[in-house]
Amino acid sequence: MNAEEKLRLAEERVEADRQRRIDAAIAAVAAPGTDSCIDCGDAIPEERRIAAPWAKRCIECQEFYEAERLSK
């Protein structure tokens, strides 16, 4: 394999990786939310599901999750 082929393969890998991340991001946004919080299992209020259909946590857990994430 010559240098040119190696470079091309590397570029293809980067492109495939980029595409995978884009697909994952789209899937995360498009994925329907859930009726119950993934952290505490409580039902997510309907108004929250309407306001944020992608929400996977109840408001309390979401706030906790975001506070945790920001503190790191």
Angstrom distance (rounded) from CA 66 to CA 31: 20
Q: Coil, strand or helix: which one is 36?
A: strand
Of positions 34, 36, 39, 65, contacts Zn ion by CB under 5 A: 39
- Residue in 55, 63, 52, 64 with CA at minimum distance from that of residue 37: 55
Instruction: Report the nearest approach of Zn ion to the CB of residue 6 (Å).
Output: 49
Backbone φ and ψ of 13, nearest 5°: -65, -45
If binding is defined by CB under 5 A, does position 55 make contact with Zn ion?
no
Give least dist CB 59 to Zn ion, A.
8
Binding mask 18-37 for Zn ion (x = CB under 5 A): -------------------x
Q: How far is the CB of 72 from Zn ion (least distance, A)?
A: 20
Helices (H), 1-72: 3-30, 46-51, 59-71
| Contacts to Zn ion by CB under 5 A | 37, 39-40, 42, 58, 61
